[in-house]
Amino acid sequence: MSGENILVVEDEEDILELITYNLNREGYLVSGVKSGEEALTAVDRSRPDLILLDIMLPGVDGLELCRKLKSDSKTAGIPIIMVSAKGEESDVVVGLELGAEDYITKPFSPNILVARIRTAIRRFRSAPPEDDAEIKIGGIAIRPGRHEVLVDGKVIDLTVTEFRLLNLLARRPGWVFTRYQIVDALHGTDYPVTDRSVDVQIVGLRKKLGRAGSYIETVRGVGYRFKG
């Protein structure tokens, strides 16, 4: 029996009941809510081991809820699997860039859902702790312990994925990372995202860093490196 606490955020009663039934059968302890607001209250009351999050919700939708949770240091470490009837790559990329660990589309097999949950929880539990040492290069300061980046003393608002990407590159200045190496380092192998999504993340990261974005160099035909 698993025993982990799963919070399911789903506004369709029949789907919520189906998910709850299948996860209970696997030994998970399941709490269900039907809105983003209820989810925030539930997480504040008791932190779950994983959140199964539908995108189409009344009020605060799933993407906004994911953004809120992943931008808060108290909840950023909770793995999130997004669930939606939308299967377009753009929705997948948005969810993953916000920091979600996985994405599954409706309709789905209960067995596949359980397998994805097990993988996400196992990945988080086996992940090595992040080095908390502050990195300072030029006017950039990266503070992993606070999940904070400053440029010339000004705090820069980054998504969880953007922060991880910058931290990865900056810890090995001069080292060239291929796109696939970046995807694997940020999310693990066999992750459902194309290597081209890294290009999108790099463009967004450079824009937020402003003049400091020039520290992230493109190595044509290979990938990216951080200029030391």
User: Closest by alpha carbon to 184, among 200, 168, 173?
Assistant: 168
User: Closest by alpha carbon to 81, among 179, 184, 192?
Assistant: 192
For domain 135-226, say whether CATH 1.10.10.10 is its number.
Answer: yes
Per-residue confidence of the chain (228 residues) as pLDDT tens digits? 468 999 999 999 999 999 999 999 999 999 999 999 999 999 999 899 999 999 888 888 999 999 899 888 788 888 999 988 766 567 767 777 788 888 888 888 999 999 989 888 887 775 555 566 788 998 999 998 788 999 999 999 988 888 989 999 998 888 888 888 888 777 665 555 555 778 888 999 999 999 999 999 999 888 899 986
pLDDT of residue 29: 94
- What are the backbone dihedrals phi and psi of residue 148, each rounded to the nearest 5 degrees, phi first? -135, 140
Query: What amino acid occupies position 160?
Result: V
The DSSP line for 89-138 is: HHHHHHHHHTT-SEEEESS--HHHHHHHHHHHHHHHHHSPPPP---EEET
| Residue ranges of domains in the chain | 5-126, 135-226
Q: Are 98 and 67 in contact (CB under 8 A)?
A: yes
Q: Are 126 and 134 in contact (CB under 8 A)?
A: no
Q: Quick one: CATH architecture of 5-126?
A: 3-Layer(aba) Sandwich (3.40)
DSSP one-letter code for 127:
S
The DSSP line for 177-188 is: EEHHHHHHHHH-
Tokens of 206: 């450079």
Q: What's the CA gap between 110 and 15, in Å, rounded?
A: 11
Beta strands in the chain, from DSSP E residues, in sequence order: 5-9, 29-33, 50-54, 80-84, 102-105, 135-137, 140-143, 148-151, 154-156, 177-178, 216-219, 223-226
Tokens of 16: 């919520």
Q: Is the pTM above the cut of 0.75? A: no
